Structure 1
Amino acid sequence: MAEMRSLLPRSPITLAPRGLPSRTMAYASPVIALALTLLFGALLFLALGKDPMAALKVFLADPLRDTRSIGEVLLKTVPLVLCALGLSVCYRANVWNIGADGQLIAGGIFAGATVLFFDVPGQTLNGTVVLILASLAGVIGGMAWASITALLKDRFNANEILVSLMLTYIAQQLMLWVVNGPLKDPNGMNFPQSRVFSSEYLLPNLMSGSRLHAGFAVMLVLVAVMTVFIFRSFAGYRLQVGGTAPAAARYAGFSSRSALWNALLISGATAGLAGAFEVTGPIGQLLPSISPGYGFTAIIVAFVGRLHPVGTVFGGIMMSLFYIGGEMAQSRLGLPSAIGWVFQGMLLFFLLACDTLIENRLRWRATAA
């Protein structure tokens, strides 16, 4: 299991050479990685017979050309940032949750079932109340799914990487069963989907002319709340100490079990809320594919943002550009649909390389000093 952990990205470096703060080096790493990604992306476009500058314009600039396009970019940041917020807490606590996508799907199932329960003829319950209940149901669903990982890790010392990852595939199968069984639309021409939710049970738009919904505002509030929790609360301090210095945490009387459960439940809650916002926002119903892999991409978002809540917003915007830019490159340039995933993979690769090289350089200089 130690070998598997070594393959995962590390948290921001802490050593620093003389005269250069470690924080500067840590935050320079994603900037360098992004620059290398764009450089090698341009070379990739050239190898595919495309004008590199024109292709990069389609990939990165065109998704921001007007209000509607900007709204789409910000719309995709909502699930990415929400999942990354919880993952940042987990990774700071040294809990390697890889199953945010499954927790998002579980939250979407719970939220969708709640809406369908109230979305019946003659129902008089206010739409805002139903949306609040659906959001809470999504949070509960994500927490319940994450608690399975916490329980197996706590009781049987099961590896949380494998458990959380496998639970993602189980969540996908659960969604397939739900939309083909108890929540299937009887008038849906046998397609695996639920009924489309009534408009009063959908999140209101924030920006006219776009699909950006109120979940974006909730996301920004949670970014602020999570920043205070991690850096200004005793609970956040205790959780981080348990992850970075277990021996010191035990000496101080901090519970490692509590850190495990709190980290996974927080991560499950934010991912479940992301799922609730997806089904009550742009999708408007339950579908087998409510997530194109947001939970996995959020791992990159978390580390590009240096495991900082505010940083995840910038990382989420960048990954959202890669999603939409990949779709535009496919339709306008005739490139494969996987081009967006290639850019995501390159960014992660260069981020890992920069972190590793910078960390080793700092260690060598510290040893030499």
Structure 2
Amino acid sequence: MLRLEPRPTPSRWWSYGSPLLALALTVLIGVILFAVLGKDPLRGLQVFFWEPIKSTYALSELGLKATPLLLIALGLAVCFRSNIWNIGAEGQFVVGAIAAGGVAIATDKDVGPWIFLVILLAGTLSGMAWAGITAYLRDKFNAGEILVSLMLVYVAIQLLGYLVYGPWKDPAGYNFPQTRTFDPSDLAPRLLAGLRVNIGLVIALAGSALLWLYLFRTRSGFAQQVGGLAPWAARYAGFSSRKALWVALLISGGTAGLAGALEVTGPIGQLTPYIPAGYGFTAIIVAFVGRLHPLGMVLSAILLSMFYIGGELAQSRLGLPKSISGVFQGLLLFMLLACDTLVNYRIRAGKAGT
């Protein structure tokens, strides 16, 4: 019988290299998968790892995809480091998009550029409020945040569907379930003419720097992490677990709502039923592949964005289903979990205790 035995001192270098090893194994399995599907493996790897970075336009699209993933992952990292499992960032993303879209719809063309800040604030506060429901139920009734936050995703999606199929539906939209397109003053400013990448990328990168300062240079950030690693020690030191719960979920909900606001005011420019793109769930992978560290999450957000774009290109150029990107994401997470397990445990033959 095979069993897992904890290693006395797990290798620090292997711990850091585990995501790279997981990526290498994912690529290897991807090559096998392409061959089994009758596709050229080299062409498949080119679509996933070269096409998204081969030109300025490709890099701008990569930055566009990475923006919501990074923003959501930053907030999730605070939760996970605090041992609070927010699985409902997708719902907070959708609610942030709804609030931002509502403000954009309510404005007219004569409003100045300042309205964009109001739109972002609306998205952020709405995401915080949606996450606050989970925090309240956990705080008052000890409801599991995993189940509550996840179920609220479906409530948010249904709310979006009601609005775009009902009261917010564009009367001049040929009966399509969508709102009117937003005015130019409501849209996120683009960084470069002719490219879709916008100020959201700058906000996400600035958020990474702020998160690093918060986690590693402030007492509040230290308290969040101590509460996650050693709850009893945190209580002994006078840190409030209740405060840690609210802080973690509000930060996470705020970044997800901000990501939703930037998404609808950026590449989409209106509300549609297709706002939920799975970013909230993919950001969980981004957070863990990036080791819950701001710099690591920047790199992992780029990688997962390549998977998103590669999946879209594989659909049009190789005739593969778009879900191939989800396959690569799942493989990466599975390989990371397997590598982390082997870094911390060794496989032994025999009965337990022998």
Structure 2 partner of 1:178:
163
SS at match of 2:266: coil
Q: 2:224 aligns with which of 239, 242, 245?
A: 239
Query: Is 1:28 the counterpart of 2:8 in the alignment?
Result: no
> 2:112 is matched with which residue?
126
Q: 2:321 aligns with which of 326, 336, 349?
A: 336
Instruction: Report the alpha carbon displacement of residue 326 of structure 1 after superposing the two structures with TM.
Output: 0.8
* Contact 2:128-2:252 within 8 A present in 1 as well: yes
- Give the superposition deviation at 1:163: 0.5
Query: Aligned-pair distance for 1:125?
Result: 2.5
* 2:67 paired with 1:81: no
Select 1:305's aligned residue among 256, 271, 290.
Answer: 290
Q: Following TM superposition, by how much is the alpha carbon of 1:362 offset from its aligned partner in structure 2, in angstroms?
A: 11
Of 50-59 and 152-161, deviating more is 50-59
User: Given the superposition, is the C-alpha separation of residues 207 and 54 from structure 1 closer, same or farther in structure 2, using an over 3 Å criterion?
Assistant: same
- What SS does the corresponding residue of 1:97 show, helix, strand or coil? coil
Measured in 2, the distance between the counterparts of 1:180 and 1:134 equals 22
- Determine the structure 1 residue equivalent to 2:311: 326
> Alignment partner for residue 16 of structure 1, among 1, 4, 9?
9
Separation in 1, partners of 2:339, 2:249: 28
1:114 matched to 2:103? The reply is yes
Displacement, 1:92?
Answer: 0.2
Deviation at 1:16, TM superposition (A): 3.5
Secondary structure of 1:281's aligned partner: helix
Q: Of the candidates 103, 111, 130, which is equivalent to residue 92 of structure 2?
A: 103
TM-superposed CA distance for 1:14, in Å, is 11
Instruction: Map 1:54-203; keep pairs closer than 5 Å.
Output: 54-118=43-107, 120=108, 124-127=110-113, 129-203=114-188
Equivalent AA in structure 2 for residue 39 of structure 1: L
Kindly indicate whether residue 202 of structure 2 is the aligned counterpart of residue 209 of structure 1: no
Aligned to 2:268: 283
- Report how far residue 361 of structure 1 moved: 3.6
Alpha-carbon distance in structure 1 between the residues aligned to 2:170 and 2:7: 53
Could you state the TM-score of these two structures normalised by the residue count of structure 2?
A: 0.94
Distance 2:17 2:7 in 1: 13
Deviation, 1:117, is 1.3
Q: Distance in 2 between matches of 1:201 and 1:257?
A: 37
- SS of 1:280's equivalent in the other structure is helix
Q: Is the 8 A contact 1:15 1:362 kept in 2?
A: no
CA gap 1:173/1:322 in 2 versus in 1, 3 angstroms:
same
Q: Is the 8 A contact 1:16 1:362 kept in 2?
A: no
**Aligned counterparts of 2:202 and 2:153: Cα–Cα separation in 1:** 27
| Whole-angstrom distance in 1 between the partners of 2:345 and 2:277 | 35
- Whether contact under 8 Å (1:16, 1:25) holds in the other structure is no
Which blocks of at least 5 consecutive residues in structure 2 are unaligned? 1-5, 349-354
| 1:71 and 1:212 in contact (8 A); partners too | yes
Contact 1:67 1:209 in 2 (8 A): no
Q: Unmatched 5+ residue regions in structure 1? A: 1-12, 364-369
SS at match of 1:125: coil
What letter corresponds to residue 331 of structure 2 in structure 1?
M
Identity percentage over the alignment?
57
Secondary structure of 2:191's counterpart equals: coil
Secondary structure, counterpart of 1:239 in structure 2? helix
Are 2:286 and 2:297, in contact at CA under 8 Å, matched by a contact in 1? yes
2:213 aligned with 1:228: yes
Query: After the TM superposition, which of the residue ranges 328-337 and 272-281 deviates more from structure 2?
Result: 328-337
Question: Quick one: distance in 1 between partners of 2:184 and 2:254?
Answer: 25
Residue 349 of structure 1 corresponds to which residue in structure 2? 334
Tell me the secondary structure at the aligned position of residue 286 of structure 1. Answer: coil
- The aligned residue for residue 271 of structure 1 is 256
Asked whether the 8 Å contact 1:305–1:313 carries over to 2, the reply is yes
Residue 47 of structure 1 pairs with residue 47 of structure 2: no
Structure 2: which amino acid aligns with 1:16? T
Q: 2: CA distance between counterparts of 1:148 and 1:137?
A: 17
